[in-house]
């Protein structure tokens, strides 16, 4: 799999492309800017390794078991 654009990734996971760009600009999702001008509009590309790391960090984790309740003796 090659690098994909934020709108493509957004469609794949069912969120808006602005959300994916937010994750990129805040450093939550690694991406590379392929724009020709360094001061111009960014042209982000996201590599599969970055997607795998991002999804692993955000994956649901199993809940910790609740401690057993103590019986009250009256």
- pLDDT for the residue numbered 1: 61
DSSP letters for 36-69: SSTTS---EEB-HHHHHHHHHHHS--PPPPPPPP
Give the residue-averaged pLDDT of 2-14: 96
The answer to whether the CB of 6 falls within 8 A of the CB of 21 is: yes
Q: Which two tokens stand for residue 41?
A: 């509009």
- Kindly tell me if the per-residue pLDDT of 7 is higher than 90: yes
What confidence tens digit (pLDDT) does each residue in 13-48 have?
A: 999 999 999 999 999 999 999 998 877 889 999 999
- Kindly tell me if the per-residue pLDDT of 72 is higher than 90: no
Chain mean pLDDT for the chain: 92
* pTM beyond cutoff 0.75: yes
Where do the structural domains in the chain lie, given as residue ranges? 6-58
| Residue whose C-alpha is closest to residue 30's, from 12, 53, 14 | 53
């Amino acid at each position: 799999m090659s690098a994909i654009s934020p709108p493509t990734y957004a469609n794949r996971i069912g969120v808006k492309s602005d959300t994916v760009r937010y994750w990129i600009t805040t450093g939550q999702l690694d991406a590379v800017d392929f724009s020709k001008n360094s001061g111009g509009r960014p042209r982000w590309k996201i590599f599969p390794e970055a997607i795998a790391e991002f999804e692993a960090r955000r994956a649901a984790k199993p809940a910790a078991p609740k401690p057993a309740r103590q019986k009250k003796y009256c």
